[in-house]
Amino acid sequence: MIPSSTSWRYRLAVASRALAAIGGGYLLTALATTLLATCLPQSRAEATITATLLAFAVFCGVVIWVFAARSAWRAWVGVLAPSALCGFGLWLQGSLA
């Protein structure tokens, strides 16, 4: 039996979303955590702990967003656009080497 093109499209869309959730979610979470840790008005250790604890919520939110988006393209844009903004914010601070 030859699989239909819609089933391959569907599988490709799910694989793309999974990649966006795992890889893109990790990228966004790492950048957001670093940006938050450098911006919090606490000692370095407290800011790092606070940002790291919030990273779990950020990652969960990204995964939910990716699978709730209308299409895989919107999921990717919804992950990469905030990642670019966080990266730009880090670049402005000089924290991104």
What 3-state DSSP class applies to 69? coil
Residue 94: left if φ>0, alpha if ψ -120 to 50, beta else—which one?
left
Average pLDDT, the chain: 92
Residue 9 pLDDT: 87
Look at residue 6 and tell me whether its pLDDT is greater than 80: no
CB 37 within 8 A of CB 83: no
Q: Count Cα neighbours of 62 within 13 Å in the Cβ-side half-sphere.
A: 30
Look at residue 3 and tell me whether its pLDDT is greater than 80: no
Q: How far apart are CA 61 and CA 15, in angstroms?
A: 19
Look at residue 26 and tell me whether its pLDDT is greater than 90: yes
User: What global pTM score does this model have?
Assistant: 0.87
Look at residue 69 and tell me whether its pLDDT is greater than 70: yes
At a CB cut-off of 8 Å and minimum separation 6, what does 69 contact?
A: 17, 75, 78
